[in-house]
Amino acid sequence: MLILGIESTCDETACSVVQDGKKILSNVVSSQVDLHGIYGGVVPELACRRHIDVILPVVEQALNEACVELTDIDGIGVAHGPGLLGALHIGLNFAKGIAWSLRKPLIGVNHIEAHLYASIMSHSKEVLFPAIGVVLSGGHTALVLMQGVGKYSLIGQTVDDAVGEAFDKVARILGFPYPGGPVIEELAKQGDASKFTFRGGRVKTNPFAFSFSGLKTAVLYAVKGQGTSYDKKNIISDDQKADVAAAFQEAAFTDIVNKTVKAAEKEGCKTLIFGGGVVNNLALRKLFAEKAAGLKLLWPASDLTLDNAAMIAGLAYHKLREKPEGDPLDLEAMTTIDWDQS
């Protein structure tokens, strides 16, 4: 079965053709990093305009690289949330247009669930469920209990910033462009984490929930001075930036690893399934390898960590098998998701 997947939830326009949920025939991603870099984050209006400009050539390229015609496709999978509303509408309406014209099923996919599926499709062996899904992206940070593909319940999520967003903001505080994750990872390698004391936030109501807003503010005050804002001059030297990056990264990742390992113990899970752009970070992978040594760690392949459409097409295959008629053509874009409904 051939599925065409479309992704436009944030600042990547992507299209992919995937066979039987796993075999990637093409995986085309048009990134907008050049567009948003100087603003320190994604500007929704600019993202929408770029999606409109590139979606048709991106879909054509994905079909060409897969050596298939539109008429060969069995279903159109599309990320219909969560994400930026305007950005979602472009991919969703494009997918609806193709599905309607071909009289083929439309399959709406949850982008976050697809990030976790990216790890599952990266491995040939059967995944041992129940597992803890660890979503670490620019828009989301969550721990979910996975009983199988499509069977989830939320254990805890961030009550404020996502961890990737915290990386992006810390990079901005230190004077680096968006996306901040790769810059902070590189800088942290040269730094001494013991030079600054930061901690991930605790959430009173749920030991498995996250809070990174306080950590980000602690970094801001360490770099710019107590009670100050982003545009103030630094009170640290340029050489100390690496120490700040190392201490911030260690605090964020220690918090994530501790909560994840406790959640796995509580739920009796032997497998951790990772998804989202932050799982690119090798320091994170190393810390999990040390602290979760008894657990099976499922990381996505490197071309499936950041936003892509192969994970959308892959997951859509499973949804289509469960529901061969697909979703109605009035399927709505969703800015947020309810895990317990997915």
Which two tokens mark 148?
């199988």
CA dihedral 226, 228, 230, 233 (to 10 degrees): -80
Subset of residues 222 to 261 that bind ligand KG4, contact rule: CB under 6 A: none
Considering the rule CB under 6 A, would residue 13 count as an interface residue with ligand KG4? no
Considering the rule CB under 6 A, would residue 164 count as an interface residue with ligand KG4? yes
Look at strands 12-19 and 23-31 and give their pairing.
antiparallel
Which two tokens mark 41?
């984050």
Q: Which stretch binds ligand KG4 (CB under 6 A): 134-142, 231-239, 290-298, 328-336?
A: 134-142
Q: Which stretch binds ligand KG4 (CB under 6 A): 160-168, 193-201, 232-240, 321-329?
A: 160-168
The one among 307, 309, 310, 315 contacting Zn ion by CB under 5 A = 307
Rounded CA-CA distance 163/209 in Å is 12
Of the two residues 26 and 137, which places its CB atom closer to Zn ion in the complex? Answer: 137
Q: Which stretch binds ligand KG4 (CB under 6 A): 13-21, 174-182, 229-237, 262-270?
A: 174-182
CA dihedral 242, 247, 253, 254 (to 10 degrees): 150
Considering the rule CB under 5 A, would residue 137 count as an interface residue with Zn ion? yes
Nearest distance, CB of residue 327 and ligand KG4, angstroms: 21
Burial label, 22 (beta-carbon count in 10 A; 0-12, 13-18, 19+): middle
Considering the rule CB under 6 A, would residue 138 count as an interface residue with ligand KG4? yes
Considering the rule CB under 5 A, would residue 165 count as an interface residue with Zn ion? no
DSSP reduced 3-state for 337: coil
DSSP reduced 3-state for 174: coil
Residue nearest to ligand KG4 (CB): 181
Nearest distance, CB of residue 188 and ligand KG4, angstroms: 9
* Site string (287-306) toward ligand KG4, x via CB under 6 A: -------------------x
Considering the rule CB under 6 A, would residue 133 count as an interface residue with ligand KG4? no
Q: Is the peptide bond before 179 cis (omega within 30 degrees of 0)?
A: yes
Q: Determine contact, residues 219/229, Cβ cutoff 8 Å.
A: no
CA dihedral 262, 267, 273, 277 (to 10 degrees): -50
Please choose which of Zn ion, ligand KG4, none residue 105 contacts, taking the beta carbon within 5 to 8 angstroms, the exact cut-off set by kind: none
Q: Is the peptide bond before 207 cis (omega within 30 degrees of 0)?
A: no
| Residues near ligand KG4, by CB under 6 A | 10, 137-139, 164-165, 167-168, 179-182, 185, 276-278, 280-281, 306-307
Provide the binding-site residues for Zn ion, judged by CB under 5 A: 137, 307
